[in-house]
Structure 1
Amino acid sequence: MDTGYFSDRKRTDTSSIKTTTLLSFVLFAMILVSIIWGLATFFINTYYESMRAKESLSVANSLEVQYREFPDTFEEYAVQSAASNRIYIRLDSAGNTMEFNGTVGLNDIDSFNKDIEIINKKLKRSPNSNVTYNVRDTTTESNSRLLFATRIERPGEISTLYIIAPLYPDLVTTRIIKNMLFYISVIVLIIALLLSFALSHRLASPIENLTRAATELSQGNYDVKFDGASFTETKELARALNQASYEMERSEFYQREIIANVSHDLKTPLTMIRSYAEKIIDISGDNPEKRNADLAVIISETERLNTLVTDMMSVSNLQSNNVELHNETFDLVEAAKVVYESVLVLSSSQGYEINFHPSRPAYVVGDRNKIMQVMSNFVANAIKYSGDNKFIDLRLQKSAKKVAFHCIDHGVGIPSEDQRHVWDRYYRTSANHERYIEGTGLGLSIVKGILNLHGASYGVNSEEGKGSDFWFEMETVRKPSARNMAVSKTETIGEDDGEEG
């Protein structure tokens, strides 16, 4: 088997489902990681600062309440608050100053003293009992601090509580968070890569299998089976391809049958013509009686060959829509009666009993000769396959707006699996491939083409061993007036010049 296609596919194809899915998931993971980093930066810089300020003010209020109501335990409470909240606390009261430094990395008391001078000035100018102020380092604007000062009045004294809270995470915490995010990002990317590879393989594998099987099918391997895996879409596609494979196998089988049938049908009359021509030359040329009998055989075989060629041309013209229809309004019942009368001779010469069951007159619009050809083909087909039971019924059934023609035989019938193929060229059912049955095998294909041109519905109802009912149905029209009976309408379908062949 030629594997060139799949060897080419082994090279990276950026437009394949597998590669596209893989790259899409990796890109999605990278975007997700970027979003995580962006949110982390936002929370560390902006959100952290806001929440830190709120917590520091809450601690300041707690310290104020503690000093006002429980001054004896204030020092212990302040030590814990400074350490746990990473803030600087200072209490000035009656010439006594207490400092509690819980900050990390900002142990320069002189810098805190400068901040206290700033906030103290603002407190003196403020009509309120407390003030809050944010400052940033001149060297690093991202390092901001919250300055808070409040007056605490107690009997006999006025104290001032100062709190300085850094509003940025310390370097160690920031480094830990960034390292953690880095490892999380790497893990997310690896997991995304593995998942995307597995998912892309799962998505692409059924399609690759279908493509591989289709390649084998194109090389003539009709035993290949299409598997759509677990996806609904690929299962539906596999089902359709399996059906196509089955139809292609049958088509190839029938093509071989066509070649065999046509070869036989062409070879037999040609052989007969050659044989009887040689016989005339060698034996019967001087005997008028024998010569005429031999010439009659040659003429008969020539007519048979001409019929085959004519039918083949008719099928070709019907398939290419290169057919001229001479439409007119006519009585289908009367046309069916003409067909019936033309085959009555078989009743006596070959023992067939053909019964005609007409309906009341039913007028239709169409090509009268071609519709009669359809009925004649139905009758000829019934005669060929009626077997030992030589009863044939021709029935017309008229309804309100339609009329149907039925040709019913009681012969060998058609297997149900073959009924959809009886309209194919050169087709004969699996039960009826005997070569002694005469005919071109094109009759029903011609019928199909003619009825399709007329927009008629048609079909076959058959049961193997009990016979078949071939039928067609056309819409009826009103009976035309006597003056219009002779008027016909010509409709050309296909080529402009309407020539055949």
Structure 2
Amino acid sequence: MKNKLDMKSLKVKLWTYFILFAATIMTILWLLQIVFLNTYYKSMKTNEIKKIGDSLVAEYGKDDFEDIIYTTSFSRGVIIQILNEDGIPIFPMNTSFNPRPPKFNSMDSRKFIDKLENDNQGKILYTIEDSRLGRPTIVYGAVLQGEDGENLYLYINGLLDPIDSTTFVLKNQLIIVTIISLLLALGLSFIIASKISKPITQVTNAASVLAKGNYNVVFEKGDYTEIDDLVATLNYTTTELSKIEELRRDLIANVSHDLRTPLTLIKSYAEMIRDISGNNPEKRQSHVDVIIDESDRLTRLVNDILDLSKIEADLNQIDYKEFDIVRTTKEILKRFLILEEKDGFIFRLNCSDEIKVYGDEKKIEQVIYNLISNAVNFTGDNKLVFINIKNVGDFVKYEVKDTGKGIPEEELNHIWDRYYMVGKTHKRAVIGTGLGLSIVKNILTAHNSDFGVESHVNQGTTFWFQLNTNK
């Protein structure tokens, strides 16, 4: 159990990111509500006064202009006046409904009019401190054309209300919200981080068990699709590793058996020559022949292992060329004449005189030899092996059929594995080493050729493959 907090763990990372996210959101709220609130409020108020002024300038000259001024003044809470060239308010006049107009001294009104006169657009907008109220106000001014040709001046005054009390209230609320948010972020981040990291931790623990060689371990699914996909992949990997481990054990057992048997015979017959038949030429020759045969069997086994390793390591070096597969087959069958003469095997070749295919002749020769060897080992008591070669469109289909007991359907997908034996019962082959089908599979895969097997229990087995008839 780890006592030290792992800063790189998923749980700690998620917890940290969640806290940072919450802190960032709260920082933004503080900046917007406290630091930038005054600036934002002033900007909004300024834009509002400007829109009111521009709207009144556009409405000037209408018959109900006076009503528009009154309505706008009361609804928006601003002071609106029309000044003459002397800076004297001429509208609105004294009325009980009008907000009390500010008192202009001659200097203030002159400054206001001078600013308007000097502005190219005839409009001004600025902020000034009201000496009477002790508060800042926004002033809007615009030049209006009077009926007698003299200039009139639109004056709008809007008070910038103090928001210090509002800011104080917001600050207190934000302190409470910040504390609550951080506490919630701490709790939620811990719960979420734990929930997310738990299935990953379970997968890691199960993987540790798998790494120790326990292929019975089962990876459990979680609450997330990604974790479920990973678990499904790991469970499939575990199953495949279990199969590979079983094949490895079978391979070692079978190779050991095939090595031990000829070595035992060689030693036994060598001792018989030494102790019994050394002076008997006929018996000595018989014993020497056994030693030679078993030595040849060992040589074939080693060569097949080397060939399989070489093929798997260098599958892309295929020397494609056109060759007569019938002639190649006949040459291979000559190597089985000894079985016809001594053991009564029968090889039936069914094909035309010449069939051209495209591929690596040396490697295809190895495929054919291994398939025929396999048929010899598993054919029936009649010792009959059929070889069928026929054209099928742009392909040539090659079949090797025995008359043996057949292969159960559930084992057909495994027969291409190294040293896989049907029924798990390893027997001493009549010819070959037990690695032939694995070599066949690798060579045909390198040729991108279709291949397969068809078998029925007690009806024999047919291995087949296809080769192109042209490039």
> Counterpart of 1:412?
405
Pick one of 238, 246, 263 that aligns with 1:253. 246
Q: Secondary structure at the match of 1:435?
A: coil
Distance 1:395-1:7 versus aligned 2 partners, 3 A rule: farther
Distance 1:299-1:188 versus aligned 2 partners, 3 A rule: same
Q: Which amino acid is the alignment partner of residue 40 of structure 1?
A: Q
Q: What is the CA distance between 1:347 and its match in structure 2?
A: 6.1
Deviations, residues 135-181 of structure 1 (Å, cap 9, x unaligned): 2389xx9x6235799xxxxxxxxxxxx99975244543321111112
Q: Which amino acid is the alignment partner of residue 206 of structure 2?
A: A
> Counterpart of 1:239?
232
Q: What is the CA distance between 1:220 and its match in structure 2?
A: 0.5
Distance 1:309-1:44 versus aligned 2 partners, 3 A rule: closer
Q: What is the CA distance between 1:124 and its match in structure 2?
A: 11
> Counterpart of 1:13?
7
Q: What is the CA distance between 1:93 and its match in structure 2?
A: 9.9
Q: Which amino acid is the alignment partner of residue 435 of structure 1?
A: K
Pick one of 438, 447, 465 that aligns with 1:445. 438
Q: What is the CA distance between 1:283 and its match in structure 2?
A: 1.7
Q: Is residue 304 of structure 1 aligned with residue 297 of structure 2? A: yes
Q: Which amino acid is the alignment partner of residue 257 of structure 1?
A: D
Q: Which amino acid is the alignment partner of residue 202 of structure 1?
A: K
Q: Is residue 29 of structure 1 aligned with residue 31 of structure 2? A: no
Distance 1:374-1:52 versus aligned 2 partners, 3 A rule: closer
> Counterpart of 1:145?
137
CA distance in 2, matches of 1:272, 1:125: 126
> Counterpart of 2:211?
218
Deviations, residues 234-253 of structure 1 (Å, cap 9, x unaligned): 22222221111111112112
Q: Which amino acid is the alignment partner of residue 218 of structure 2?
A: K
Distance 1:338-1:29 versus aligned 2 partners, 3 A rule: same
Instruction: Tell me if structure 1 keeps the 8 A contact 2:347–2:387.
Output: yes
Instruction: Tell me if structure 2 keeps the 8 A contact 1:135–1:144.
Output: yes
Q: What is the CA distance between 1:406 and its match in structure 2?
A: 1.2
Q: Secondary structure at the match of 2:278?
A: helix
Deviations, residues 31-69 of structure 1 (Å, cap 9, x unaligned): 2222222222377313434566759x99xx9xx98xx99
Q: Is residue 44 of structure 1 aligned with residue 37 of structure 2? A: yes
| TM-score in terms of structure 1 length | 0.69
After superposition, residues 378-417 of structure 1 pair within 5 angstroms as: 378-388=371-381, 390-417=383-410
CA distance in 2, matches of 1:187, 1:181: 10
Instruction: Tell me if structure 2 keeps the 8 A contact 1:49–1:168.
Output: no
Q: Secondary structure at the match of 2:416?
A: coil
CA distance in 1, matches of 2:375, 2:424: 13
> Counterpart of 2:129?
136
Q: Is residue 179 of structure 1 aligned with residue 166 of structure 2? A: no
Q: Which amino acid is the alignment partner of residue 196 of structure 1?
A: S
CA distance in 2, matches of 1:331, 1:52: 97
Distance 1:469-1:230 versus aligned 2 partners, 3 A rule: farther
CA distance in 2, matches of 1:166, 1:359: 110
Q: Secondary structure at the match of 1:477?
A: coil
Distance 1:311-1:290 versus aligned 2 partners, 3 A rule: same
Q: What is the CA distance between 1:256 and its match in structure 2?
A: 1.5
> Counterpart of 2:109?
122
CA distance in 2, matches of 1:352, 1:303: 21
Q: Secondary structure at the match of 2:465?
A: strand
Q: Secondary structure at the match of 1:394?
A: strand
Distance 1:359-1:399 versus aligned 2 partners, 3 A rule: farther
CA distance in 2, matches of 1:266, 1:284: 25
Q: Secondary structure at the match of 2:454?
A: strand
Pick one of 190, 204, 216 that aligns with 1:197. 190
Distance 1:283-1:352 versus aligned 2 partners, 3 A rule: closer
CA distance in 2, matches of 1:197, 1:359: 78
Instruction: Tell me if structure 2 keeps the 8 A contact 1:45–1:168.
Output: no
After superposition, residues 98-113 of structure 1 pair within 5 angstroms as: none
* RMSD after superposition: 4.5
> Counterpart of 1:496?
none
> Counterpart of 1:434?
426
> Counterpart of 2:147?
none
CA distance in 2, matches of 1:125, 1:145: 14
Instruction: Tell me if structure 2 keeps the 8 A contact 1:359–1:398.
Output: no
Distance 1:286-1:222 versus aligned 2 partners, 3 A rule: same
Instruction: Tell me if structure 2 keeps the 8 A contact 1:48–1:168.
Output: no
Deviations, residues 361-412 of structure 1 (Å, cap 9, x unaligned): 3212444344223112111212222345755332112133221211123433
> Counterpart of 1:3?
none
5+ unaligned residues in a row in structure 2: which ranges? Answer: 57-65, 80-91, 117-123, 142-154
Instruction: Tell me if structure 2 keeps the 8 A contact 1:44–1:169.
Output: no
CA distance in 1, matches of 2:305, 2:178: 73
Q: Secondary structure at the match of 1:286?
A: coil
CA distance in 1, matches of 2:210, 2:34: 58
Q: Which amino acid is the alignment partner of residue 477 of structure 1?
A: N
> Counterpart of 1:188?
181
Distance 1:269-1:7 versus aligned 2 partners, 3 A rule: farther
> Counterpart of 1:499?
none
Deviations, residues 393-441 of structure 1 (Å, cap 9, x unaligned): 3211213322121112343333445434333322223x25233445422
Matched residue pairs, number?
419
Deviations, residues 318-362 of structure 1 (Å, cap 9, x unaligned): 233399977653211232244456547756765655432215732
Pick one of 288, 300, 310 that aligns with 1:317. 310
Instruction: Tell me if structure 2 keeps the 8 A contact 1:360–1:398.
Output: no
Distance 1:133-1:219 versus aligned 2 partners, 3 A rule: closer
Q: Which amino acid is the alignment partner of residue 145 of structure 1?
A: T
